[in-house]
Amino acid sequence: MATVFMKWLETSPKNYDRGINILTLGRIGRVKERISNSYVHPGMHVLEIGCGTGTLTTMMAAKGATVTGIDASPAMLSEAEKKVTQQKLEERVNLKYMDATLIGERFAQASFDLVVSTLVFSELPPDEQRYVLQACKKLLAPGGRLLIADEVVPSQALAKLAFYLVRLPLVLVTWLLTRTSTAVLRDFEASLRQAGFHTYRAASYLGNSLVLYESHLTQGIPPEVLAGERQAELPAGVVGRLEHQVTLRTLLLDLWLLFFRIIPPYPKIRPGLYALGNPDTRSPVLVTGNFDLTVRRLVQAIDSRLDAWVLVADSAGINVWCAAGGGYFTAEKVIAALKASNLEQVVKHHALILPQLCANGVDGWRIRQETGWGVHWGPARAVDIPAYLAGRRKKTDEMRWVRFPLKDRLEMVTVTLGFYGLLILLPVFLFWRPMFWPVAFSLLGLSYFYAVVHPWLPGRDGLYKSIPLTIVALAGLFVYIALGNSLPTGQLFHWIVGLTGLSVFTAAELQGMSPLMRGEQANWGWEALIGLSLGAIYWLIPLITGWR
């Protein structure tokens, strides 16, 4: 089957990158980041077998290595050539049209420090795999490494089932969208060992279905590698390993937290020192709070992109910004976590990277004075950590500033609705059943509409923003009538009063969930006043006019 797919690939190199990204749920990008960040150094000679459209080739060349890329598809190579020219890397990249089985004859013995291949071996028949692995052995210089990333079938039964359940529909979707597919490897670790390599899994993704194998020729690892060598066993004092994973527990927890995040008790994890990936004595130390979601999002943002130590301090199960603002996350908590852990023995440096957003409560100078450790204020968002570290802890303004993008606005509106929605809708459901659906739809509609248009509504205060929101809501009502739907005067009156009330409430309360809020609770007085006035209008006007 693979050959049929390969024919398609040859005709559609642009689709290939997209297809592979869908098929690996974007993880192939992480594999490539990992390879170029952890294994490639300036001056290295690297051979990439199956360079495809040249994504990894150019990443490695940009790191200062001299890269030879081979591929059996001229169309792919011409795409790769374009990338190389665009990034002006011609001097360090050498692209060759060549089949993988020929590398043993065309290149000199021991001429590469690193041989890399992603998603190629699974496309080769078993005999060719063996042949190419033998050739790799010849080409590697002493102390050189072979890195192979490929899709594999997980060995455990349950993981295997999950793998096929996810993979089959993905393969179909990917195929339909991009005419791209890949094969999977079986028992590849054994093949590597048979070929005479010392192999281990340097990283695995997607429930062990995408694996990066690191192989050495000799068991004895050369000294320059040893300094930064990975520790398979965790040092004493390390609580455990953190890993990004999706389980039934995390799914249920995410669902609960989406609606009821502000209701205690908050899910938390045990404070202490954790390993993320395979950190060593030179890996960075990231400090964070012990809210379950905070830790999981941190792990998700950087897992398999880099190796790090994570020092989880007790923040009472609250996210770092709120905990720091509320006095739950302080310098003392960080110092306590540092002292209680074995960090002094685990790493050879004295640098802590703190989340920038806890700077409102964690006194950096106090940590410096009390412990002698340097405090570096990392980026505001965890997703920027890899870029921040890659740039030697240089922070751009983009990394510094808090934003409130649509995704976050929708999330926070849902969080707010989980609590206030219940507060409003439960009484309506119990005591005013006929109005339940109209109120529920109005509340949901107004809230999500507000979330979408929030940046364009004038004013910073939620109470001001409620004025345009009310106007829009009432305009909607009149458009509904103008379209030929008739509402009796009494009901129209109900709708006007109700929509005004809900609009004011929605705008004023949701603004309080914005990271850019400032004492929005002070609006409660005004909200109560507006509510009371609306109530009075609702009660008085029918009395005067004799409606109902």
Partner 1 sequence: MNTQPTLLSSLKEHLQLARELRHLEIQFYPQKCKGVWQCYNVCPVGCWTPDYARRKVIFHDPEKCIACGACVLQCPEDAIELK
The least CB distance from residue 321 to partner 1, in Å, is 8
What whole-number distance in Å separates Cα of residue 313 and Cα of residue 308?
16
Q: Which backbone phi and psi does 69 adopt, to 5 degrees?
A: -115, 130
Nearer to partner 1, 277 or 462 (CB): 462
The least CB distance from residue 380 to partner 1, in Å, is 6
Closest to 152 in 3D by CA, of 113, 109, 207:
207
The least CB distance from residue 395 to partner 1, in Å, is 7
Nearer to partner 1, 280 or 363 (CB): 363
The least CB distance from residue 404 to partner 1, in Å, is 11
- Contact status, residue 283 vs residue 308, Cβ threshold 8 Å: yes
The least CB distance from residue 308 to partner 1, in Å, is 21
Nearer to partner 1, 429 or 526 (CB): 526
Secondary element (H or E) of residue 276: strand 272-276
Nearer to partner 1, 10 or 363 (CB): 363
What whole-number distance in Å separates Cα of residue 167 and Cα of residue 173?
10
Longest Cα separation, the chain: 100
Nearer to partner 1, 525 or 546 (CB): 525
Nearer to partner 1, 404 or 436 (CB): 404
The least CB distance from residue 357 to partner 1, in Å, is 6
Burial of 21 (C-beta count, 10 Å sphere; 0-12/13-18/19+): middle
Closest to 146 in 3D by CA, of 226, 84, 218:
218
Nearer to partner 1, 50 or 284 (CB): 284
Question: DSSP secondary structure string, 416-483?
Answer: HIIIIIHHHHHHHHHH-GGGHHHHHHHHHHHHHHHHHHGGGSS-SSHHHHHHHHHHHHHHHHHHHHHT
Q: For binding to partner 1 (CB under 8 A), which residues are involved?
A: 325, 356-357, 359-365, 377, 380, 395, 397, 400-402, 515-522, 524-525
What whole-number distance in Å separates Cα of residue 403 and Cα of residue 419?
24
Given CA atoms 27, 32, 35, 38 in this order, what sign does their dihedral have? negative
